[in-house]
Copies of this chain bind each other. A is one copy, B any other.
Amino acid sequence: MPPSWKDIRAILLDLDGTLYTAEGTIPGAVEAVWALRTRGLAVRFVTNTTTRSCRALAERLNRMGFPAEPAEIYTPAWAAGRFLRQRQARAYLLVPEGAREDLEGVLDEEERPDYVVIGDLGEAWTFERLNRAFRLILEHGAGLIGLGRTRYWRAADGLRLDVGPFVAALEEATGQKAMIFGKPDPGFFWMVLEDLGMPPEQVAMVGDDIEIDVGGAQAVGMRGILVRTGKFRPADLSGPIRPDAVLASVAELPAWLG
């Protein structure tokens, strides 16, 4: 018998495009999050942002009216910090300031690190930094961790390279595959589930990205719910990924869960 929606004990929510957009909060989203919590569901937030810390993201959500603690927010930097601290690993951190806060307690080490961690450095990328990362991986055997694999994003002045192309450059140079922390990487979702202490059958991910949110969640056995807000396009529904549910917006979720 397939698992029923009655078994769901936790809801993972994407942020941008699901709870809010550049225009503000999605109508009904704040009420929906309150309603989910009221009925006893665990509510968590899963985002690929690396320029804001969990603490800064929680403050931002709170200002918008969403109840959220920093410990309820999962980011690539949170996952990398957890991974590295568990191993007491030293790391060369090529990450934006916002990510650095969630990597607190990780031993920052430029000479003999166990891992090189790269995020969206933007203008702070230099040949010297990329070449140092390359040498640490190829010559000293450091592992490569990417805070996501986003290819680019739209800044005020136009498109800008994100972390993905730099991950690709280091993979090509070293012949080593990067570990990616962030959606849709299965390892990242497993860390979230481990932190929640729940099996995937009891968890549903809600997001506006058919591949990253829905496909990523389904790949580890969670249910994936697509919302028609944010970057949603009708063509998303004719691809190979079949959402477990499609809702007009997150506002419909409490009623839909019944």
Interface residues, chain A, with chain B CB atoms under 8 Å away: 121-128, 130-131, 134-135, 138-139, 151-152, 158-161, 164-173, 175
Selected from B125, B131, B151, the residue in CB contact (under 8 A) with A127 is B125
A167: chain B residues within 8 A (beta carbon): 172
How far is B131's CA from A151's CA once the two chains are assembled, in angstroms?
12
A121: chain B residues within 8 A (beta carbon): 127
**Chain B proximity of A94: nearest CB distance (Å):** 12
**Chain B proximity of A70: nearest CB distance (Å):** 30
| B165→A169 contact, CB < 8 A | yes
| B171→A159 contact, CB < 8 A | no
| A130→B161 contact, CB < 8 A | yes
How far is B160's CA from A163's CA once the two chains are assembled, in angstroms?
21
**Chain B proximity of A125: nearest CB distance (Å):** 4
Selected from B124, B126, B159, B166, the residue in CB contact (under 8 A) with A169 is B166
Q: A126-B127, A134-B165 are in contact. List 6 more A-B contacts (CB 8 A).
A: A122-B127, A124-B127, A138-B152, A139-B159, A151-B172, A169-B172
A134: chain B residues within 8 A (beta carbon): 152, 159, 161, 165
**Chain B proximity of A240: nearest CB distance (Å):** 17
**Chain B proximity of A162: nearest CB distance (Å):** 8
A135: chain B residues within 8 A (beta carbon): 158-159
Identify the closest chain B residue to A130 (Cβ). Answer: B161
**Chain B proximity of A168: nearest CB distance (Å):** 4
How far is B160's CA from A78's CA once the two chains are assembled, in angstroms?
32
A138: chain B residues within 8 A (beta carbon): 152, 159
**Chain B proximity of A132: nearest CB distance (Å):** 10
| B161→A127 contact, CB < 8 A | yes
How far is B172's CA from A164's CA once the two chains are assembled, in angstroms?
7
